[in-house]
Amino acid sequence: MALRADFDALPIQDEKDVEYKSQVPGVMHACGHDGHTATLLAIAKVLVQNKEELQGNVVLIHQFAEEITPGGAISMIEDGCLDGVDAIFGTHLWSPTPTGEIRYRTGPFMAAPDKFTITIQGKGGHGATPHETVDSIVVGASIVTRLQQIVSRKVDPLKPAVLTIGTFHGGDAFNVIADSVTMDGTVRTFDKDVQEIIIENMEKIIKAECEAAGATYHLDYVKGYPAVNNHEEETMLLVNSASKVVGSEHVQEIAPLMIGEDFSYYLQKVPGTFFITGAGNKEKGIVAPHHHPKFDIDEESMLVAAKTLVTVALDYLHS
């Protein structure tokens, strides 16, 4: 069986005042992946010290580029990291959940995270003569508003979906009508049919708004990782193993999360499960969300994760 940890950082300035603050300007571990790596290294040490007790092999996967589409998992799999592996398990240290808590889900757990860039080409000009221009900012603003209607009016409300515009760039001066606008965003879905509905309606809306205003556009849509779908048997094994570590009252099933994870590629190849290990602690002031400049984890969470994964490994091999 295999255990996986990712180790990449993010392009964010670290604003924590701790001894392990990032030493690289503009780069920090803002998602807990350094904790994942440390956890798996500790597990490696423990397993090697007790290898005579193992009734099988444990593969330890240290993976790069989970944060960057298409992700590092594909390359790892192509390079043979799952050769001979019968099942895989992984966890994410998660600050919104208190330390000492384990969260899991059978079936769809994390969404497919897509990325898109929309470029609107208008006709720039003087701010005092808008009638002689095609205002790309006005067109872009209208598109942003219309796109928000796709999830609320085109997608079955019982099927989760998110469409978010994350950036909007246009113009350089207060008295100049912008020649072009660029915006970036993300779509999150579990159902491939819902994904296609959103893509189709995005194209229709952008095209219609641009044609009405006399602008042109380019939509660059990149499908990200598939959704994380946990296997039932391995998830139930995780529940039993985690209950031995933290107590059954601290192991709870949760609703699907709209975040993405390329652990999904491993689960398409072999059975397994991906789960959440709580890493937040209000008493210690560890409350910042993931991908935040002040993000941190309660280091006790690494011990919980290590104990849980070691127990999972032993329970799986002995079963």
Catalytic residue numbers, as ranges? 8, 66
H-assigned helices in the chain: 33-49, 73-78, 136-154, 192-213, 232-246, 263-269, 300-318
Alpha-carbon distance of 82 to 57, in angstroms, equals 12
- The sign of the CA dihedral 283, 27, 186, 94 is negative
Separation CA 280–CA 101 (nearest Å): 10
Beta strand 102-104 pairing with 112-121: unpaired
Beta carbons of 230 and 87 less than 8 angstroms apart:
no
Q: 278 with 305: CB under 8 angstroms? A: no
Nearest Cα to 118, choosing from 68, 62, 169?
A: 169
CA 100 to chain CA centroid, nearest Å:
22
Torsion of CA 282, 284, 289, 292, to 10 degrees: 150
Residue 295: CB atoms within 10 A of its CB come to 23
Cα angle: 156, vertex 151, 163; to 5 degrees: 135
With tokens 């998830």, the residue in question is 235
Phi/psi at 117 (5° precision): -130, 130
Amino acid at 202: M
Q: CA–CA separation, 61 vs 82, rounded Å?
A: 9
Provide φ and ψ at 87, rounded to 5°: -160, 155
264 alpha-carbon distance from chain centroid: 11
